[in-house]
A and B are shown apart, each in its own frame.
Chain A
Amino acid sequence: EVQLWESGGAFVQPGGSLRLSCAASGFAFRNYAMTWVRQPPGKGLEWVSSIGPKSLATYYADSVKGRCTVSRDDSKNTFYMDLSSLRDDDTAVYYCARASSLVGSTPTYFFDYWGQGNLVTVAS
């Protein structure tokens, strides 16, 4: 059974930073891209970042570019997102998801398994 479990959500002051982690099990983690998607309270879904297999490629939304770094440790079946210079509009539930693509190594990702979500609140 595929399982994804996020951790690291917290209450953070504006300008601060955090690291979110996503531990995976039940599939060949090293062969899959992984993704973060966020959802501000009461709002819709926003893709944030993705990392391809073997960390060969990373992709970021403009809203976090320059403030965000995704990485993975295939030996631990875990991937991470470091987000800095946090702003009020970064407040959201952050979901990790497995990203699948039917077109080789291109980032044509859809998200077939999701974690339970982790709330990040940015406020003073």
Chain B
Amino acid sequence: DIQMTQSPSSLSASVGDRLTISCRASQSVTNFLNWYQQKPGKAPRLLIYSATTLQSGVPSRFSGSGSGTDFILTINSLQPEDFATYYCQQNADIPLTFGGGTKVEIK
């Protein structure tokens, strides 16, 4: 199984900050890497697929980069609605696996 490791597991940030979240795969997933946002009590929402492609309707302050085993989710100019938990997911191989999540809290 491909293990996905996110760092940090949590962070505190302020509105307007630029933040980055890391996701590392235990083996290469090429660009089969996706990012989701989840708010408390809500279903996850797809933000980015294929490592870098922004899902329709997602604000352009979100971006993804990386390939192989190391990936980054960047949020430019953090907005109040961005405080949430973020998950990466690899879709290179079955079983499909998620990272443990990164909780973004208000500083």
What residues of chain A have their CB less than 8 Å away from a CB belonging to chain B? 37, 44-47, 50, 59, 61-62, 95, 100-102, 107-117
Question: How many Å from the CB of B9 to the closest CB on chain A?
Answer: 10
Residue in B49, B87, B92, B95 whose CB lies within 8 Å of A62: B95
Chain B residues near A50 (CB-CB < 8 A) = 96
Chain A CB within 8 A of B101 CB: yes
What residues of chain B have their CB less than 8 Å away from a CB belonging to chain A? 32, 34, 36, 38, 43-46, 49-50, 55, 87, 89, 91-92, 94-101
Residue contact B43 to A46, C-beta cutoff 8 Å? no
> Which 6 pairs from chain A and chain B are nearest by CB?
A114-B43, A47-B96, A110-B34, A45-B98, A110-B49, A108-B91
- CB nearest to B1 among chain A residues: A62
- CB nearest to B85 among chain A residues: A44
Chain B interface mostly helix, strand, loop or mixed?
A: loop
Residue contact A59 to B98, C-beta cutoff 8 Å? no
Question: How many Å from the CB of B104 to the closest CB on chain A?
Answer: 15
Chain A residues near B34 (CB-CB < 8 A) = 110-111
Residue contact A59 to B94, C-beta cutoff 8 Å? yes
Chain A residues near B94 (CB-CB < 8 A) = 59, 107
Chain A residues near B50 (CB-CB < 8 A) = 102, 110
